[in-house]
Homo-oligomer: A and B are copies of this chain.
Amino acid sequence: MLYEVINPDDDCIKDACGVLGIFAPGIDVARLAYYGLYALQHRGQESAGIAVSNGWEVHVEKGMGLVSDVFHDDSKLNKLKGHIATGHVRYSTMGSNILLNAQPLVFRYRNGYLAVAHNGQLVNGGKLRYYLEEEGSIFQTTTDSEIIAHLIARSSEINVEDAVKESAQKLNGAYSFVLMTKDKLIALRDPYGVRPLCLGKIDGGYVIASETCALDTIGAEYIRDVEPAEMIVIDSFGIRSDKIITTDRGAFCIFEFIYFARPDSNINNRNVHLARKDLGRCLAEEHNIQADIVTGVPDSSLSAATGVSEQLSLPYEMGFIKNRYIGRTFIEPTQEVRSLGVKLKLNPARRIVEGKRVVVVEDSIVRGTTSTKIVEMLRHAGAREVYLLVSSPPIKSPCFYGIDFSSPEELIGTQRNVSEIAQILGVDYLGYLSVAGMLKSIGLPEEMFCTACFTGHYPIKLDGQFYKTLFEKKGEARKSIIDSEI
């Protein structure tokens, strides 16, 4: 799968978010968080924010856009003095794309400040909001972060750690939280470990991050992944760990290996680039085709494509050039100009592909619109034959845990079989990786993964989806609905 081919919103998978936490007395943690968020920027480009505590007060700066948009000079960073930081980059899934949803959210409650940054999606978020509202809660955002804040504030436990633990019992779904009080940093990962979260140390302090690349970037040393169902608390007394709940299986989103995570990150000690390359090798084993060259589509399938190239012993070529300067303020082509053949984000290298049998590797196919354009571009640039290899299985089922391809009607893999898809895309050959090949290539225990989008087996029970519709109903009306449902 490819992002940013013609339109960034066209056919790309929207990940949830990236989270970051730093506890490091004596260090300018705001600045460190700023650099760390750069390393997580691929996980969300809609908003960015940093909250910092100096031990008695919490300040937050956030805004819409990239980290570099929100912190365009150091005036905001300079306001964030302290030794504990939480950071967040966001790509909206559940919450809509507005400033109010930008995180970290900072609350005042009876125990003082609470800052919350979140990656994931609660499956019982609707239900929790319903009950909280019934009890008199007010919501200013549509984020799951505001839900956990209400739960903590309403907890019978005075102590924040106990309150978090109690609140976690009520949460169901995918979540990797970084919480901050005026003097504590708390990491909380759901029992299934759906979204990644890792722990590192830096110069006498600790760092929590969605991916290890953020640790590397800020010079922190990787310690280990935060475990599913684990709560880690860091304060001036040190670091401690607690289990919030017992679970029998994991549900780590396998799409993190396929597409989301940065190639230099490691998850469960497995490097993402190498895993993708092995996906490519395995893919080539399963589809041993004859061709002239192999090419990837920048940037998401480059690792897999080199794996294919090496396995097939075919030269790896730069079949497409991605324009690095196409940003968010790009002026869309008019129809007139588009009809002239203007193609900006990706340009196929005619001299490289013309007259050739080209193996083009993609990481995944969602709706198929991007792949169709890729194939057209190659044909137009003179490719003699186009073989499309996909380093993941067909996507057949929607995701309820945070990936934004929820509608089955839009998934080409749900609607069509492989030969139909090949015809739609206009390729001479279409080869997907098998589920077994995928799992084998990644090389980690099968039971730790969620593969629901490929297999339809949902490891986390869905809960309260129907409550979603209740939000728009007013008092009495929804009371009767809820009564009839429960």
Residues of A within 8 A of B (CB): 27-28, 31-32, 34-35, 38-39, 41-42, 56-57, 60, 66-69, 71-74, 77, 100, 105-112, 114, 133-134, 136-140, 142, 146, 149-150, 153-154, 158, 182, 202-203, 213, 216-219, 262-264, 266, 271, 273-274, 277, 299, 302-303, 306, 309-310, 315-318, 321, 323-327, 329-331, 333-334, 336-337, 340-344, 347-352, 471-476
Chain B residues whose CB sits within 8 angstroms of the CB of A310 once the complex forms: 315-316
Q: Select which of B218, B302, B341 is within 8 A of A318 by beta carbon.
A: B302
Chain B residues whose CB sits within 8 angstroms of the CB of A337 once the complex forms: 28, 31-32, 35, 218
* Cross-chain contact B107 with A136 (CB below 8 angstroms): no
* Cross-chain contact B108 with A133 (CB below 8 angstroms): yes
Copies in the assembly, this chain: 4
* Cross-chain contact A303 with B323 (CB below 8 angstroms): no
* Cross-chain contact A217 with B342 (CB below 8 angstroms): yes
* Cross-chain contact A28 with B334 (CB below 8 angstroms): yes
Q: Closest approach, in angstroms, between the C-beta of A51 and any C-beta of chain B? A: 11
* Cross-chain contact A321 with B68 (CB below 8 angstroms): no
> In the bound complex, what is the Cα–Cα distance between A100 and B142 (angstroms)?
16
Q: Select which of B35, B41, B213, B273 is within 8 A of A317 by beta carbon.
A: B273
Chain B residues whose CB sits within 8 angstroms of the CB of A331 once the complex forms: 31, 34, 71, 73-74, 77
* Cross-chain contact A347 with B108 (CB below 8 angstroms): no
* Cross-chain contact B264 with A107 (CB below 8 angstroms): no
Chain B residues whose CB sits within 8 angstroms of the CB of A111 once the complex forms: 474-475
Q: Closest approach, in angstroms, between the C-beta of A11 and any C-beta of chain B? A: 19
Q: List 30 A-B contacts (CB under 8 A).
A: A27-B336, A28-B336, A31-B334, A35-B333, A41-B323, A42-B325, A57-B472, A68-B329, A100-B106, A107-B139, A107-B140, A108-B142, A109-B133, A111-B475, A112-B475, A136-B153, A137-B153, A138-B153, A182-B474, A202-B340, A203-B340, A213-B347, A218-B337, A218-B340, A219-B340, A263-B321, A263-B349, A264-B347, A266-B351, A274-B351
Q: Select which of B302, B350, B352, B474 is within 8 A of A112 by beta carbon.
A: B474
Given known contacts A137-B153, A321-B264, is B350 in contact with A216 (CB within 8 Å)?
yes
> In the bound complex, what is the Cα–Cα distance between A153 and B46 (angstroms)?
31
A interface secondary structure, majority:
mixed
Q: Which of A110, A114, A271 has the most CB of B within 10 A?
A: A110
> In the bound complex, what is the Cα–Cα distance between A324 and B73 (angstroms)?
19
Q: Closest approach, in angstroms, between the C-beta of A100 and any C-beta of chain B? A: 8
* Cross-chain contact A35 with B342 (CB below 8 angstroms): yes
* Cross-chain contact B133 with A138 (CB below 8 angstroms): no
Given known contacts A31-B333, A158-B475, A476-B158, is B273 in contact with A349 (CB within 8 Å)?
yes
Closest B residue to A303 by beta carbon equals B318
